[in-house]
Chain A
Amino acid sequence: MLPAPTPAPPAAPTANPAEAVLTIANVSLAFGENHVLQDFSLTLLRGENIVVMGKSGAGKSVLIKCVIGLLQTDSGTITVLGQDVAALDHNGLDRLRTKLGFLFQSNALYDSMTVRDNLLFPLRRQWLTHTPAQEAELVKQALEDVGLADTAAKMPAELSGGMRKRIALARTLILRPEIILYDEPTTGLDPITGREIDHLIREVQKKYNTSALIISHDLACVRLTADRVALLSEGRCYAEDTYAGMQANADPQVHDFFV
């Protein structure tokens, strides 16, 4: 199985005005009185990593759950790979999700299954059919990508936090997604393991030419993984720039994040 087709040439992401794979336009979402997102807009280009920063509870996780259709927006449109998420029916959403990866903050590995079954779960549940040999090959490939080739028979509970994160990434990669959504990939990990994960994110981006929307407030992670940084504040996209540009920004709100 080859990486997902890439119609647009994978040129330097920020340089060329490349194809937009994800467009978030004027999205608002409120839980009762709590207006989490208010008129939020952001565009992700092919092969590009965007890190969304923001305070805890600012609505970063809500944003990417809206992108993958786990939450419904109140207004605004989210267009993923040319399809309006809100307009899709159940099956359409499932098909779209085969091209989207989601790395959960708590990894969300199925405790009751081995690593192999965890990896095979999305493969078997999607509208894809594989022979057992193909499945074995895909599992092996995905585990090698994250550097844990010998853990296939283990249970998630036997693994360390960093290994679990890698397995979760492998489970995301097995479907060869075009866009990967990372929900705080380094939170809860020690700095060294965190850096390993950051490098892994970069490697995946290079190897499969994926785009990524990364939620983080870990500065090291942001510096290593971001092509662009967006600051989510009061429900809006407060600022948007490269890491260096953000660091140079004199705005007190932006500046506070980059001390």
Chain B
Amino acid sequence: MSVSSILAETGTVTRFAGRVFREGFRPRFEVQELLYQCYVIGYQSLPLVGLTGFIMGLVLTLRLRPTMVQFGADSWIPVMVGMTIIQEMGPIITGLMVAGKVGSNIGAELSSMRVTEQIDAMSVSGTNPFKYLVVTRVLAATLMVPVLTVLSDAIGLFAAYVGINTNGVTTVALFTNQIVARLTFGDVLPAVIKTFFFGFAIGLIGCYKGYYADKGTEGVGRAANSAVVAGSLAVFLLDLLAVLISSLLGLY
């Protein structure tokens, strides 16, 4: 992919995002469809995100333990794991899982609708397909990824608690206090805020790839595939951006 084509693609995606905002703020609002998409993107992704969150928390704790014990810093395990999960691992893992599951789903669904003229059929049926399909999905992803991240964080921390309790007993209160004692708003809020952008990027890229899919069979596959790749990449880029911005603001 040449530089100019990347720039052109970025430009088109930006214009697409602009259209999402323009059309999103104009009535009529597709509340029913938005709620349904929230259900599909949010609730139906929870098992996957929750499972990865649990495994992540458990593995992180068990891996960290030998090193920390060597340094005689067992009491720092909850802090280390908690900070890692809340600041980076939770948002990133959730973002990637959603980019994989939801991004591909949106990309495939919209591109197949495009290919089988369902999008045109919506226009003909007096429905703005952009609003009905794109705006609702982008908005639902934007709103649901933070919720999924918070739940994934919670599940990950629970897994960390389980992991710590495999070697000796720690009470929930102590575990919570150890984490909360080191945590500040500057750790939590940027980590939550950036997930809104993750969700927006995943939804936007999925919709863009699907909505402008090539006609034909391979267009659908390509749309689903590139939605996942570009979505995951966007999650990492936004995360980098978030770190830079919050260190500029002195939050870390």
Contact = CB atoms under 8 A, between A and B. Distances in A.
Contacts of A105: 117
A98 B117 contact: no
B116 A126 contact: no
Interface of A: 65, 68-70, 90, 94, 97-98, 100, 102, 104-112, 121-122, 125-127
B121 A108 contact: yes
Nearest to B123: A70
Contacts of B121: 102, 104, 108, 110
- Which range holds the interface residue count of chain B? 10 to 19
Given A70-B124, A106-B115, A111-B116, 15 more contacts: A69-B123, A70-B120, A97-B125, A104-B116, A105-B117, A106-B117, A108-B118, A108-B121, A110-B121, A111-B113, A121-B125, A121-B127, A125-B126, A125-B127, A127-B126
A107 B116 contact: yes
B225 interface: no
B112 interface: yes
A97 B122 CA distance: 11
Please name the 7 residue pairs, one residue from A and one from B, whose CB atoms are nearest each other, closest first. A108-B121, A122-B125, A108-B117, A94-B126, A104-B117, A125-B127, A126-B126
Nearest to A100: B124
Nearest to B121: A108
Interface in B107-146: 109, 112-113, 115-118, 120-128
Nearest to A121: B125
Given A110-B118, A111-B112, A111-B118, A125 B125 contact: yes
A109 B118 contact: yes
A36 B180 CA distance: 68
A104 B127 contact: no
A163 to B, nearest CB: 16
A106 to B, nearest CB: 5
A125 B126 CA distance: 6
B117 A122 contact: no
A110 B116 CA distance: 9
A145 B8 CA distance: 50
A239 to B, nearest CB: 29
A126 B125 contact: yes
Main secondary structure of the interface of B (DSSP, over half): helix
A106 B125 contact: no
A97 B117 contact: no
Contacts of A97: 124-126
20 contacts: A94-B126, A97-B124, A97-B125, A97-B126, A102-B120, A102-B121, A102-B124, A104-B117, A104-B120, A104-B121, A106-B117, A108-B117, A108-B120, A109-B118, A110-B118, A111-B112, A111-B118, A125-B122, A125-B126, A126-B125
Contacts of B113: 110-111
Given A104-B121, A108-B121, A122 B126 contact: yes
Contacts of B117: 104-106, 108
A104 B122 CA distance: 11
B42 to A, nearest CB: 17
Contacts of A94: 126
B232 to A, nearest CB: 25
A73 to B, nearest CB: 16
**Best-buried of B113, B117, B124 by chain A (most CB within 10 Å):** B124
A62 to B, nearest CB: 12
B31 to A, nearest CB: 13
**Best-buried of B113, B120, B125 by chain A (most CB within 10 Å):** B125
Nearest to B115: A106
Contacts of A126: 125-126
A188 to B, nearest CB: 12
**Best-buried of B112, B117, B121, B127 by chain A (most CB within 10 Å):** B121
Nearest to B132: A125
A90 B123 CA distance: 10
Contacts of B112: 111
B113 to A, nearest CB: 8
Given A107-B116, A111-B112, A111-B118, A68 B125 contact: no
A111 B123 CA distance: 16
Contacts of A107: 116
A127 B126 CA distance: 8
A72 B116 CA distance: 21
Contacts of A108: 116-118, 120-121
Nearest to A104: B117
